[in-house]
Amino acid sequence: MVEKNKDWRRRAYKNEDFINSSEARPIRVLSELMAPKACYEKKEIKNTIVFFGSARSIPEELAQTKFDSLKAQLNQNGSNEVIQNKLDLAEMELKLSKYYSSATELARLLTEWSMSIIQKEKQFYVCSGGGPGMMEAANLGAEKAGGHSIGLNISLPFEQDPNPYQTKNISFEFHYFFIRKFWFAYMAKSLVVFPGGFGTMDELFELLTLIQTKKIDRKIPIILFGSEFWNDFINFDALIKWGVINKSDKELFKIFDAPEEAYQYLKKILIDLVL
């Protein structure tokens, strides 16, 4: 029997057990769709330049210090297989770190230019996955320019602590990968892809497929940064040779090696798209 003076009312929207249950999954999905929408509409954010790349890259200075330290250890200890293996990895880490610097510089240039656009709703915001590595570099570049940037973080058991350079009040952490992918694509006016692993390739090829199949029916310039990496990683001409993509599909992206050149290319296209 219910006590007359006891507030027994059950408010489902305040019931954490229900909200976190499998039955409420559609509500959680909808929340991850609508909360960013409300935020970006309120702040007049309509255009993003999305940066993808490895979460494992580190700043160039840190990579150089690590490499130099291991090299000194090897010189001091002589032939040592364990140290040599670490040195080999550090050498590749140092090579990857140069792209960290390039991502920072390109994001800085784009943010400085965007901030010069008078109409706020026509400005462009650097957007990354919000984590470490190339994502951190992109958000860092925007901060160096004195601008704001977006981080679309994802809850993972490893690798994905939010970097400190994203602007907190316009960044989100997602549980569902597919909603996060929606927000990468929805406001994207350009995509810049630095060397990366499975996650980077997943995002790149999904967006290429959406553009190829006209599910995204607007021009989105795509830059693959770092010809050494991309030419080593995938043979696009072989895909054409085998007939699994059209020759024209290779025109969906361009490869650049210099931040200034990539910046000038993007700026010209983005001006025509939005301004």
Q: pLDDT tens for residues 64-80?
A: 999 999 989 988 887 88
Q: Give pLDDT tens digits for 4-40.
A: 666 667 788 888 899 999 999 999 999 999 999 999 9
Give the pLDDT confidence score for residue 11 in this predicted structure.
86
Give the pLDDT confidence score for residue 4 in this predicted structure. Answer: 63
Query: Does position 108 have pLDDT exceeding 90, yes or no?
Result: yes
Ordered domains of the chain (ranges, CATH):
29-57+99-274 (3.40.50.450)
Q: Which two tokens stand for residue 129?
A: 């996955």
CA 189, CA 212: separation in Å to the nearest integer? 16
Label residue 86 by pLDDT band (50, 70, 90): very high
Dist. CA 88–CA 84, nearest whole Å: 6
* Per-residue pLDDT tens over the stretch 196-214: 999 999 999 999 999 999 9
